[in-house]
RNA sequence: GGCGCUAUCGUCUAGGGGUUAGGACGGAAGAUUCUCAAUCUUCAAACCCGGGUUCGAUUCCCGGUAGCGCUACCA
């Protein structure tokens, strides 16, 4: 029997199953594993848990790699479960040979509870009614052939109620509501001879773990502490499916044992599964590794994150595409369910590594505080995208994530930020040069929260022609059209002779304001609008300096024209 | 239904038998400023409920409630 490699270097793994895109919860699990391995000079392993052939997709594998690549954290070893099936089977049969597992010839349930609904019932046999109940939508299902009626109204959502109702119906219909399922009758007791005979005859079977009913299974979780569960409460779970494929539990444990994983850091949804895993490790002759379960990430409504219900905010690539810095995203995720126990929030990768410990992990679920995009908002999306408005809107992200991102952006050197901004700008303005970008960046660094904001914050630097704006925009505070015109004309008159540098511009325009008898702000505002096309923009002199004399004068001319038309009316 | 886990401002959290229960985001107000940001200052905002233990519980114990998870030949 091997020992958990406490003394050796820690080995941790991230083991996603490629059944969907990489979502934020998985990303956080990856990050915590990574931090633990780096903190303790251990090994980070990526293992694709792809034993569910039915649901695995290449697209999902792509999405996971894409997301992980963006995070930029990396790993040391990589495995695919589907390439290690022999190992899994070998371990399963070794457990069988010790008498700790048995063949179950009961036909498989026909996929009981798929998301789309029950397949066990013929839809024609069911009448489903919904009605409003306090806080949610209640569901009543009538099973026509038997006349059985069930109502679920206590769940939070219609879908949950529907699920619950189906469950209740099934229980009422199945031999008058049996208790908790532990094993299929007759199967654990099958003699070895009969079992072998039926198997040899080609009868399909699943291999099930023989859970010892009289024992108590224990383990110590690094986050949740001492855990114990009576064997009488653990069902005889499957190890091998009737097609010979290993189940998740078996494959996962077999690989964790074989890969000498020392610490399993994963979502809390596996906490109760861990009792089964401890059983498998023991039966296979291995000491179980150290477990550490992470609190779940949930949506503002308390339910677990799902793309269907909560939209694109649960997918890692959405954050990437909206212009989050990976470092900021990582920082944000770390603060969900973990705390450095001091008052730091903005943390660099180094700081995170140094501060990370399993002790800092919290036990309660953490809400990702995004605003839901209602599923029916496909229309809104289309409108927004067509109008060039960024999608999804900023409010759909957790405000703390956005703030943290702005904070990391501000912490970036001009050169570094400029390099990240340029490709985004170039998508819309192919002519943008690195030199220009470098000059624009300092003017917007404090003004953008997401990288994509560069497009709205700095558009006028790259645009040939300003989008149309209302002439009234040109009128300064406590001023009128005449004042705007006066100011613009004055600027037009003196700017050709001014050097386009901050100080000379400052001096010249302030002097002009005094000369005209207007306040500095009243002088600057019309010029700003003339040149930027809007009131809110970076400081004027720096902006003019970057824009250059030619563009400035051209835009001033256009503004004078515009103002002139208004004034003459 | 069974089993398990959890419960501090709206959100993320610190704390812990005696505290004005701390920080951050978000919100409000103000300062600064050529606008917008950034920055700074200030304010509002929380210990789920009920018992017990105790001189004293938000903190420890029990119960309740609520939420979540697992209860598949999914992972």
Strand partners, A79: A47
To the question of pTM greater than 0.80 for the whole model, the response is: yes
For CA atoms A194, A199, A200, A204, the dihedral sign is positive
* Distance set, CA A387 to CA A470, A535, A566 (Å): 19, 21, 28
Structure confidence at residue A70 as a pLDDT band (50, 70, 90): very high
Which nucleotides along chain B are within 7 A of a protein C-beta?
1-8, 10-15, 22-26, 34-39, 67-75
Q: Tell me whether residue A304 is exposed, middle or buried, using C-beta atoms within 10 angstroms of its C-beta: 0 to 12, 13 to 18, 19 or more.
A: middle
Using the CA of A135, give the nucleotide whose C1' is nearest. B66
Query: Mean pLDDT in chain A?
Result: 89
- The region, left, alpha or beta by phi > 0 then psi within -120 to 50, assigned to residue A548 is left
Phi, psi values for residue A335, rounded to 5°: -80, 0
Give the model confidence (pLDDT) of A232-252 as tens digits. 999 999 999 999 999 999 999
Using the CA of A369, give the nucleotide whose C1' is nearest. B11
A312 CA to B10 C1' distance (Å): 23
Structure confidence at residue A229 as a pLDDT band (50, 70, 90): very high
A339 CA to B12 C1' distance (Å): 9
Strand partners, A23: A315
Mean pLDDT of A117-137: 57
Q: What's the CA gap between A31 and A428, in Å, rounded?
A: 33
Give the model confidence (pLDDT) of A510-559 as tens digits. 999 999 999 999 999 999 999 999 999 999 999 999 999 999 999 999 99
Using the CA of A363, give the nucleotide whose C1' is nearest. B6
A156 CA to B49 C1' distance (Å): 21
> Residue A215 has what pLDDT?
92
A415 CA to B35 C1' distance (Å): 26
A38 CA to B59 C1' distance (Å): 34
For CA atoms A544, A547, A551, A555, the dihedral sign is negative
Tell me how far apart the terminal alpha carbons of chain A are, to the nearest angstrom. 95
> Residue A537 has what pLDDT?
96
ipTM: 0.96
Q: Which residue is nearest to nucleotide B22 (CA to C1')?
A: A343
Structure confidence at residue A231 as a pLDDT band (50, 70, 90): very high
Structure confidence at residue A378 as a pLDDT band (50, 70, 90): confident
- The region, left, alpha or beta by phi > 0 then psi within -120 to 50, assigned to residue A104 is beta
Whether A124 shows a pLDDT value over 90: the answer reads no
- Nearest alpha-carbon partner for A407 in A347, A490, A469: A347
Q: Which residue has the tokens 């079977």?
A: A205
Whether A128 shows a pLDDT value over 50: the answer reads yes
A369 CA to B10 C1' distance (Å): 10
The 10 Å Cβ neighbour count of residue A276 is 24
Q: Which residue is nearest to nucleotide B73 (CA to C1')?
A: A241
Using the CA of A244, give the nucleotide whose C1' is nearest. B73
Structure confidence at residue A377 as a pLDDT band (50, 70, 90): low
Q: What's the CA gap between A150 and A16, in Å, rounded?
A: 37
Using the CA of A509, give the nucleotide whose C1' is nearest. B34
> Residue A252 has what pLDDT?
98
Contact between residue A161 and residue A139 where contact means Cβ atoms under 8 Å apart: yes
> Residue A191 has what pLDDT?
96
> Residue A143 has what pLDDT?
65
Structure confidence at residue A468 as a pLDDT band (50, 70, 90): very high
Mean pLDDT of A459-483: 94
Cis peptide before A450 (omega within 30 of 0): no
- Nearest alpha-carbon partner for A447 in A457, A456, A437: A457
Q: Which residue is nearest to nucleotide B4 (CA to C1')?
A: A272
Contact between residue A227 and residue A140 where contact means Cβ atoms under 8 Å apart: no
Q: Which residue has the tokens 């792509």?
A: A62
> Residue A565 has what pLDDT?
79
> Residue A120 has what pLDDT?
46
A3 CA to B13 C1' distance (Å): 37
């Amino acid at each position: 029997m091997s020992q958990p490699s406490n003394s050796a270097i820690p080995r941790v793994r991230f083991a996603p199953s490629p059944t969907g895109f990489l979502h934020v919860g998985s990303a956080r699990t990856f990050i915590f594993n990574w931090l633990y391995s780096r903190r303790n000079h251990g090994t980070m392993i990526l293992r694709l848990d792809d034993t569910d052939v039915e649901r695995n997709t290449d697209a999902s594998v792509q999405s996971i790699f894409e997301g992980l690549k963006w995070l930029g954290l990396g790993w040391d070893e990589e495995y695919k479960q589907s390439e290690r099936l022999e190992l899994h089977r070998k371990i399963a049969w070794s457990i069988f040979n010790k008498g700790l597992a048995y063949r179950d010839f009961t036909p498989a349930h026909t996929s009981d509870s798929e998301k789309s609904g029950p397949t066990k019932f013929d839809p024609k046999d069911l009448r489903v009614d919904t009605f409003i109940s306090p806080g949610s939508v209640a569901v009543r299902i009538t099973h026509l052939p038997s006349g059985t009626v069930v109502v679920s109204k206590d769940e939070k959502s219609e879908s949950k109620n529907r699920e619950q109702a189906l469950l209740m119906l099934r229980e009422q219909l199945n031999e008058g509501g049996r208790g908790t399922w532990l094993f299929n009758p007759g199967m654990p007791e099958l003699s070895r001879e009969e079992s072998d005979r039926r198997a040899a005859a080609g009868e399909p079977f699943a291999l099930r773990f023989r859970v010892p009913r009289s024992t108590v299974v224990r383990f110590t979780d690094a986050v949740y502490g001492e855990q114990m569960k009576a064997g009488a409460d653990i069902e005889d779970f499957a190890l091998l499916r009737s097609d010979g494929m290993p189940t998740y539990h078996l494959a996962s444990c077999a690989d964790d044992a074989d890969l000498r994983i020392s610490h399993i850091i994963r979502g809390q949804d596996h906490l109760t599964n861990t009792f089964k895993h401890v059983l498998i490790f023991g039966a296979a002759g291995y000491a179980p590794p150290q477990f550490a379960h992470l609190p779940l990430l949930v949506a503002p409504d308390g339910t677990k994150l799902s793309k269907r219900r909560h939209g694109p905010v649960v997918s890692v690539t959405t954050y990437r595409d909206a212009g989050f810095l990976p470092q900021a995203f990582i920082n944000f995720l770390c603060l969900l369910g973990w705390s450095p126990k001091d008052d730091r929030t903005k943390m660099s990768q180094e700081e995170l590594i140094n501060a990370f410990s399993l002790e800092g992990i919290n036990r309660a679920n953490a809400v990702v505080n995004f605003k839901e995009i209602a599923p029916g908002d496909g229309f809104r999306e289309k409108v927004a995208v067509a109008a060039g408005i960024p999608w999804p809107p900023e409010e759909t992200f957790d405000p703390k994530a956005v703030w943290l991102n702005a904070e990391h952006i501000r912490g970036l050197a001009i050169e570094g930020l400029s390099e990240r901004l340029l490709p985004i700008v170039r998508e819309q303005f192919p002519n943008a040069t690195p030199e220009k970008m470098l000059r624009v960046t300092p003017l917007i660094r404090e003004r953008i929260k997401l990288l994509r904001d560069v497009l709205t914050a700095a558009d006028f630097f790259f645009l040939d022609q300003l989008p149309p704006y209302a002439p009234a925009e040109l009128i300064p505070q406590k001023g009128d059209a005449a004042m705007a015109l006066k100011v613009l004309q004055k600027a037009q008159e003196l700017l050709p002779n001014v050097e386009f540098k901050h100080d000379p511009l400052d001096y010249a325009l302030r002097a002009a304001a005094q000369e005209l008898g207007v306040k500095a702000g009243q002088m600057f505002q019309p010029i700003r609008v003339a040149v930027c096309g809007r009131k809110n923009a970076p400081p004027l002199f720096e902006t003019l300096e970057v824009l250059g004399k030619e563009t400035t004068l051209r835009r001033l001319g256009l503004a004078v024209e515009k103002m002139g038309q208004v004034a003459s009316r």
